[in-house]
Amino acid sequence: MSNNKFINAVISEEQGDESLPILRGTMGPEAVDIRALYSRYDLLAFDPGFRSTASCKSSITYVDGDKGVLLYRGYPIEELAEKAHYLEVAYLLMFGELPEDDELNVMRESINQYGILHEQVMSFYRGFRRDAHPMAVMVGVVGALSAFYHDHLNIGDRSQRIQAAIRLVAKMPMIAATCYTYNIGRPHRYPVNKLDYSSNFLQMMFGSPAEEYQVDPVLARAMDKILILHADHEQNASTSTVRIAASSGANPFACISTGIASLWGPAHGGANEAVLRMLEEIGDVKNIPKAIARAKDKDDSYRLMGFGHRVYKNFDPRAKVIQKSAKEVLEHLQLDDPLLDIAMRLEEIALEDEYFIERKLYPNVDFYSGILLRAMGFPDSMFTAIFALARTSGWVSHWLELQEDSTHGIDRPRQLYVGKPLRHFPKDR
Ligand code: CMC
């Protein structure tokens, strides 16, 4: 069906065949501009889950789910994961171009300047049960930062917006690492300026106050890749949540906290943790057919975690990079993780199964990221926290973009009301 036929079908017959404009981006499907639909035709667009809705214009990230393409500001994710460092990617996402050396130095200096948490923030950690999930702590701590940076923050001023965005990226490694050290009862650590972003996160996670932490360059590079691969993914649930919160002019720290909350769910960022639980539950290659049968059973809510994606209907380009990285790290550490064997066999079997082929269900980024993170020594509960750490650069980029889009007011979806029609309170009650 051509676009025009569709548009004419949208407009009721009484309105004639007046059509709505088509908007064209630089890549990807065209969009019907339905902004006048309600005011001109008294019609709403019904699209629960936003499967066919472009909620905004954005020039940050492009995903072609059918071709398995992911571009940050036009650069393929595979090239960035291979050649760039996370801070370069964060700069690229925020400002649109790869940084020159001097620009990167300024960014590094700002990250060093803002990387340490305000000492009073530590009392927030102490308010949590020590076994609290890191994501619960992160939602709270990042939200609480809005109390530290609110009164003097004018988000109408570009330089203050950039400062807030960089502050968030800078503080997130210490925020995430402290969730872990608090949980295991070890003193928290501070960033060390001579280390790069990923190495710093590793030393704050695993370093002990009693001895100098030796950064393993293979692990630091793997960490950097994980952060790059998870940095942005256009209008996913958590980014859309950040944008919706931001559309009201809310404090940026509070906005990012909403993104962390949304990311936590097992259908989104929580999937990497769920993948490991699933692989452990399967336990042995011989149990894979049973797991596949359960995933296919309509009466069973069981799903193969790490399979399927709302947008990728071919393959997830991030999954390929992370699978390679997982193998490299396991080899480097001389680890033989039986879960990797189960994962690889599960992937093979599922990819030959009609059910998964028909529904275009391929392994997504989370399928291998859990195995990689586990090999690097991270406990399962930190997996989604690391995703949040990585995604912060994407969230703040979208936050910055939204603040600079003067055509975008407060987000306010409508609904198709299916409740009771008007009725009156009973007189005899
Ligand atoms: N295992 C078994 N069946 C599945 C799976 C799965 N993982 N995913 C989808 N299906 C089936 C689903 O039952 C449905 O079948 P039918 O057409 O017979 O009713 C069909 O595939 C389409 O499913 P859907 O729920 O409409 O697809 P969606 O695009 O709304 O959901 C998803 C995408 C990622 C939520 C889903 O595939 C899923 O739950 N996957 C497992 C969780 C997971 O790995 N999430 C991480 C996503 S990637 C990280 C990120 O970017 O956040």
77, 277, 279, 307: residue to mutate for ligand 1 pocket, most atoms within 8 A of CB: 307
Confidence of residue 1 (pLDDT cuts 50, 70, 90): very low
Rounded to an integer, what distance in angstroms lies between the CA atom of residue 262 and that of residue 256?
Answer: 10
Position 272 scores a pLDDT of 87
* Separation between Cα atoms, residue 279 and residue 371, nearest integer Å: 10
In this predicted structure, what is the pLDDT of residue 269?
Answer: 86
> Quick check: CB of 90 below 6 Å from ligand 1?
no
pLDDT tens-digit profile of 148-171? 887 788 999 999 999 999 999 999
Q: Which of 232, 309, 316, 398 is flagged as catalytic?
A: 309
What pLDDT, on a 0 to 100 scale, did the predictor assign at position 314?
83
Q: What is the mean pLDDT of residues 58-67?
A: 95
- Rounded CA-CA distance 289/295 in Å is 10
Catalytic residue flag (residue 188): no
In the structure, what pLDDT confidence band is assigned to residue 300 with cuts at 50, 70 and 90? very high
pLDDT given for residue 398 in this prediction: 98
From 234, 309, 315, give the residue whose CB has the most ligand 1 atoms within 8 Å, as the site to mutate.
309
Question: pLDDT tens digit string along 217-275?
Answer: 999 999 999 999 999 999 999 999 999 999 999 999 999 999 999 999 988 888 888 89
- pLDDT at residue 152, as a whole number: 80
Q: Is 17 a catalytic residue?
A: no
pLDDT greater than 50 at residue 13? no
Indicate the pTM of the whole model.
0.91
Out of 224, 232, 316, 366, pick the active-site residue.
366
Centroid of ligand 1 to alpha carbon of 308 (angstroms):
5
Listed residue (191, 194, 214) closest to 204, CA to CA: 191
Choose which residue among 230, 359, 360 to substitute to test ligand 1 binding: the one with the highest number of ligand atoms within 8 A of its C-beta. Answer: 359
Q: Find out whether the beta carbon of 384 lies less than 6 Å from any atom of ligand 1.
A: no
Q: How far apart are CA 259 and CA 242, in angstroms?
A: 5
Instruction: Determine the Cα–Cα distance for residues 255 and 258; give it in Å rounded to an integer.
Output: 5
Residue 409 clears pLDDT 80, i.e. is over it: yes
What distance in Å separates the CA atoms of residue 239 and residue 344, rounded to the nearest whole number? Answer: 31
What number does the ligand 1 atom closest to the CA of 233 have? Answer: 51
CA-proximal residue: ligand 1, atom 32 (nearest): 309
48 alpha carbon – ligand 1 mean position (Å) = 16
Query: Of all residues in the chain, what percent carry a pLDDT higher than 70?
Result: 96
Instruction: Give the C-alpha separation, 245 to 253, whole Å.
Output: 11
pLDDT value at residue 93: 98
Q: Tell me how far CA of residue 44 lies from CA of 8, 10, 195, 285, in angstroms.
A: 15, 10, 53, 50
Residue 19, CA distances (Å) to 13, 36, 329 in order: 12, 11, 56
Sign of CA dihedral 325, 330, 331, 332: positive
**What's the pLDDT tens digit per position in 371-399?**
899 999 999 999 999 999 999 999 999 99
H-assigned helices in 232-337: 237-246, 252-263, 271-282, 288-296, 317-332
pLDDT at 6 over 90: no
Amino acid identity, residue 94?
M
More confident residue, 106 or 312: 106
Name the residue with the closest Cα to ligand 1, atom 15: 359
Nearest to 183 by CA among 127, 129, 122, 116: 129
Q: Identify the sign of the CA torsion 172, 175, 178, 179.
A: negative
Ligand 1 pocket member 263 (CB < 6 A): no
Strand partners, 76: 71
The answer to whether 344 and 284 are in contact (CB under 8 A) is no
Residue 346 in contact with ligand 1 by CB distance below 6 A: no
Residues 6+ apart with CB under 8 A from 355: 292, 295, 296, 361
Q: What is the per-residue pLDDT across 318-350, written as a single tens digit (0 to 9) for each? A: 999 999 999 899 999 998 888 888 998 999 999
Cβ 233 under 6 angstroms from ligand 1: yes
- Res 18: pLDDT: 62
Report the chain's mean pLDDT, rounded to a whole number.
92
Q: What is the pLDDT of residue 397?
A: 98
| Ligand 1 proximity of 393 Cβ (cutoff 6 Å) | no
What is the whole-number distance in angstroms between the Cα of residue 306 and the centre of ligand 1? 9
CB neighbours of residue 413 within 10 Å: 12
